[in-house]
Amino acid sequence: MTPSTTSVAELAELVAPGRVAVLSGAGLSTESGIPDYRGPTGRARRAEPMTYQRFVGSAEARRRYWARSHVGWRQIGAARPNAGHRAVAELERRGLLAGIVTQNVDGLHQAAGARRVIELHGGLDRVVCLSCRERTPRAELERRLREANPGWEASGRINPDGDAVLTDEQVAGFRVVGCAGCGGLLKPDVVFFGENVPRPRVDECFAVVGGARALLVLGSSLAIKSGLRFVTKAAGLGIPIAIVNQGPTGGDADATLTLDAPLGPTLTDLAAQL
């Protein structure tokens, strides 16, 4: 099949028979106030991402990361599902989805009521100790950081990764806390640049896509292999692919249907037509 610009009615025809795998990206969460990487809210952003190697190798890098993330979490943690997340959850409730693979770390699919969600890159709502591997809620860490930094206040532009742009002066003096159990280094339970997504998680995502009748990509530019590989897998299996995104994507050449449109209104319309 050749790519085409489609309508919501055509999209509904593809989704209606069910067993649809969803692959979602940052563009789905922009209407919740979370900026994306390469879409309309992200084009001007050039923040250098934290790498795993820098994080574990430098106490100063960890201080900067946690100070910035402590500020950014106020917005990320307060974000609420938008109409797009609610529409996806409704499609799942109706039994039309084979599963949801999300590149997002904001937990908004689950907050909207979706149940079968695979967080490809992990979730910012929890932290993991790099020594004992215990996972604890992010809210508990935020409480401990506030106690360790009484009177510390800072603000800055929020980045797509959930941290804020702060100056050296704002970061100076911020105190980082270790694991409450063993004192080890705490890291958000997300995949940093320089880390690999755990193989079992990747295999689970491939299984969802491979067992689907169609693949629906929502709000992802598919500019990196992390998400594009699932589109490539679907194309190789002859599975129809629909992409809804604002702007072109790296998967358009393999798509059966493409729709350049805002996610919230489009998915709400889709759910209504089904």
Q: Is 85 a catalytic residue?
A: no
Considering 70, 85, 109, 121, which one is annotated as catalytic? 121
Q: Collapsing DSSP states into helix, strand and coil, what is residue 258? A: strand
Q: At what angle do helices 8-15 and 263-273 cross, to 10 degrees?
A: 60
- The pLDDT of residue 42: 46
Helix%, strand%, coil% for the chain, nearest 5: 40, 20, 45
Rounded to 5°, the CA angle 134-51-59 comes to 70
Residue type, 131: S
Q: Is 188 annotated as a binding residue?
A: no
- The pLDDT of residue 2: 38
Q: Is 266 annotated as a binding residue?
A: no
Predicted confidence pLDDT, tens digits, the chain (274 residues): 333 446 999 999 999 999 999 999 999 999 999 987 655 544 444 456 789 999 999 999 999 999 999 999 988 999 999 999 999 999 999 999 999 999 999 999 999 999 999 999 999 999 999 999 999 999 999 999 999 999 998 877 877 677 788 888 999 989 999 999 999 999 999 999 889 999 999 999 999 999 999 999 999 999 989 999 999 999 999 999 999 999 999 999 999 999 999 999 999 999 999 9
Distance from C-alpha of 166 to C-alpha of 189, rounded to nearest angstrom: 22
- The pLDDT of residue 43: 41
Helices (H), the chain: 8-15, 52-57, 59-78, 83-93, 108-111, 138-148, 168-171, 199-210, 225-236, 263-273
Q: What domains are defined for the chain?
A: 1-34+81-121+196-274 (3.40.50.1220), 45-78+124-190 (3.30.1600)
Q: Is 10 annotated as a binding residue?
A: no
- The pLDDT of residue 36: 75
- The pLDDT of residue 6: 65
Q: Report which DSSP code applies to 186.
A: E
- The pLDDT of residue 47: 55
CB atoms within 10 A of CB 119: 23
